[in-house]
Structure 1
Amino acid sequence: MKFGIISTANIARKALIPAMKRSDKAEVVAIASGSGQAQAVADEHGIPKAYDRYEDVLADPDIDAVYIPLPNHLHKEWVMKAAEAGKHILCEKPAGLNAREMEEMEAVCREHDVVFMEAFMYQFHKQHERVKELMAAGEIGDVTLVRASFSFPLREPAGNIRVDRHKGGGSIYDVGSYCLHTFQNILDDGVDEVFVEADMSDEFGVDMSAQGIVTMKSGVRGMFDSGFNTEMRHEYEVVGTHGTIKVSRAYRPDAFGHEGHVIVEKAGITRDERIMSDQYKEEVDHFVEAIEQGVEPRNSYDMSKQNMAAIDACYESVKTGRKVKV
C-alpha cells in the first residue's frame, strides 16, 4: 500500500514513518509540508517525493492512502479532501473537534468508498488483547471499575499546539481521549454519562489537567485523569470483585522497547506478564488489511463517533459543572 504523509509533524517523523518502513504491507512514497520541511524529511527517511502543498499528495496517482497527523482543527478539512480524492485515510486522534465533525467525515468517506481509521495506536498492542482474555476467563471476577491515567510534563507550553484553544488544544483532547477510548475498547461498552472537573489555564484558555467520573451504559464506572503537569503516567487498571489487572505501560510501551506490562493481583498474589508488540506497525498493518479486505477497521466509525461524543460531554461538564449525558 503506497502512502502519502500530509505534514511533517513529530508523530509522523518519529513513529509512523519508521513503523511503515518496518511493515512489509506499506511504503511511504511522498510527504508534504506547508512549512518547507518536506524535502529535508524526505531525505532523512528515504521518501522519493516531497511536496510543498498538501493538495499535491492528494493529486498524486501513485498514492493509495494518506496519513494525516495535522493539528486537530484541520482533521475534518483534510479527511474530507482526501476522501474526495479517493485516498484511504489514517487520521491521528482525536478524529475531529466534536461528534458532528466525525459524522460529516464518515458521510464523505462512505460516499467515496474509502476506508477511514482514527489512529489510536495503543489498542493494537497485544497486551490489551491479553487483558480482555483475562477478563473473559473470569480471572478477576465481575468488573466494577476501570481507572485510566495519561499525563506528562509540558514544561514550556507557550507556543505549543497542545495549548492552542483555536486548534483543539487541551489535555482531554490530547491524552484524556485515550482514557475515554480505553473504557470503550476494554469493556466493549459505550459511555453514558460523565462528570468532569478541569484546571483551566487563564493564559491559554484550555484544560491543563482534568479528572472525570464516567458511567458506562452497562453501569460500570470509569475514572480518568489527564494532564500536562505531572511526570509521564500512562496506565489503566481494571478492578473486579476478585482482583485487579493493571497495565502500567498502556499507551506508550514503545518507550520501553515495545514491551507491555500486565500485572494481575488476586488473593494477595501478584503475577507479572511481559508482552512484546510493535503497536505502530500493528496499526499500519491492520489498516492496510482492512483496505485490502474491504472491511471496516477495528477502530470503527461507531467507536470514533462515541469517543468524540464522550469528549464533547466532558467539555460540556467542565463548562457547566454538572453531569452530562452522552
Structure 2
Amino acid sequence: MADKKVRFGILSTAKIAEKQLVPALKEAVNAELTAVASQSGKEKEAAQRWGAPFHYDDYRTLLKDPDIDAVYIPLPNSLHQKWAIEAMKNGKHVLLEKPAALNSDDIIAISSTAKEYNVQWMEAFMYQFHPQHTYVKKLIQDGEIGKIKRFRSHFSFPMDLTSDNIRLNKELGGGALFDVGCYCVHASRDLLDEEPLKVFSNARKLTEDGVDISSTSILTFEEADAVIDCSFDEPPSNYYEVIGTKGKIEVLHAFRPDENPDQGEGIVILKDLNNQIVNEKRLGGNPYTLQVEHFADCVLQDKEPRYNGEKSYNNMKVIEALYRSQG
C-alpha cells in the first residue's frame, strides 16, 4: 500500500488543470496522471503535452475506464454537480474544483451519492493545505494576538470584462464571489472556527446579465467581524489579516503563495499592538501538490478528507446568503 498510487483522470483541458493540477500530480508521491478527456477535440494534444498515457473524446468513456481510480473536475461551475455524481456512479473518487456546486442542495446530493457508492470526494480549496495556515492557527491558539476581533481578506485580479470568459457567464456559475470571494469566506470560517450569525454583501455587477464583478461583504460572528473584498476589476492581490486584542497576523500571499515572485513562499507576519513586527516567517510548499497528496491518501486509506462534504455545505450556505443579500 505504501508505494501504491491513485490513478487520476481529468475531465476537460482547462487551464487550471494544465498549469496547476498536472504538475501537482507529477510531484505527488501517491498519485499519477493516467488519462484526460475532452469534448472539444483537444484531448490528444493535451495528453501528449501533459504526459497522460490515455485520452478520450468523451467524459463518460473516461469514467468507465476501470484503470482510473479518481477524477479531477475543473469544468465550469454549473457542471460540477452533474459530473461529480456521474463519476461517483462509476465508482470514481472525486476531487472537485471549487465552488463544488452553485447551491447547498447540490452539495447534499453530491455527498449522498458519494456515501451511496462508497467513494471519497473533496472540494478543491487547495490554499488550506499550505503550511502557512497551520502556522497562523498555532499563533492564534498560543494567544499571540489575544482574542480575535476582526478578520479582513481581499482576493482580486484584473479581467477583460468584455471577454467571453466563463467567469462572466451567469448561466455557467460566473461571478467574483463564486470564483475568488469563496476563498475569503472559507478562510474566515476556518480561522474563527465558527459559523457567522448574519451576513451582508454589496456587489458591483455587469449590466447585461447581472454577474458580480466585485463585492464587499461583512460576516458577523459571535465576537468578531469579517470584512471580505473580491473583484475581477482590480490589481492582483490575495491576502488576509487576523486582528486581535494584542496584535495581528498578516498573510501576504494567502491564497496563491505559488504566485509570490519571491520563490513562491508564503509569508506570515506577526505584529504587536503598536504595529511593530514581532516575527516574520516564510514557508514553502506547493498547495496543489499537498492537496493532491492529502486526497490521494484518503482514497488509499479509505478515510474522509479533512475538508469534507459537511464543511463544503456550510461554506456554500454562507455564499448563498451573501448572494441573497446582494439582491
With the length of structure 1 as denominator, give the TM-score of the two structures.
Answer: 0.96
The amino acid of 1:145's aligned partner reads R
**How far is the alpha carbon of 1:157 from its aligned partner?**
4.1
Kept in 2, the 8 Å contact 1:213–1:221? The answer is yes
State whether structure 2 residue 120 is matched by structure 1 residue 115: yes
Alignment partner of 1:262 is 2:247: no
> What's the counterpart of residue 31 of structure 2?
26
1:214 aligns with 2:219: yes
**What's the RMSD between the two structures over aligned residues?**
1.0
Q: Secondary structure at the match of 2:197?
A: strand
Partner of 1:280: 288
The yes-or-no answer on 1:250 pairing with 2:254 is: yes
Partner of residue 3, structure 2: none
Does residue 301 (structure 1) correspond to residue 306 (structure 2)? The answer is no
2-structure distance, mates of 1:204, 1:262: 39
Matched with 1:39 is 44
Q: Give distance in 1, aligned partners of 2:153 and 2:35.
A: 37
Gaps of 5+ in 1: 320-326
Q: Structure 2: any 5+ residue segments left out of the alignment?
A: 1-5
CA distance in 2, matches of 1:240, 1:95: 32
Q: Report the alpha carbon displacement of residue 185 of structure 1 after superposing the two structures with TM.
A: 1.6
Distance 1:130 1:219 in 2: 22
User: Which amino acid in structure 1 is aligned with residue 267 of structure 2?
Assistant: H
- What is the match of residue 78 of structure 1? 83
Would you say the 8 A contact 2:240–2:251 is kept in 1? yes
Q: Contact between 2:161 and 2:168, CA under 8 Å: does it hold in 1?
A: no
Q: Percent identity?
A: 43
**Where do 1:120-159 residues align within 5 Å?**
120-159=125-164
Q: Which amino acid aligns with 2:66?
A: P
Helix, strand or coil: the match of 1:238?
strand
Tell me the amino acid that sits aligned with residue 224 of structure 1: I
8 A Cα contact 1:258 1:279, kept in partner: no
Map Cα deviations across residues 66-100 of structure 1 (whole Å, 9 max, x no partner).
00000000000000001100000000000100111
Amino acid at match of 1:292: L
Q: Work out whether residues 146 and 238 of structure 1, in 8 Å CA contact, stay in contact via their aligned partners in 2.
A: yes
Pairing partner for 1:289 from 297, 301, 306: 297
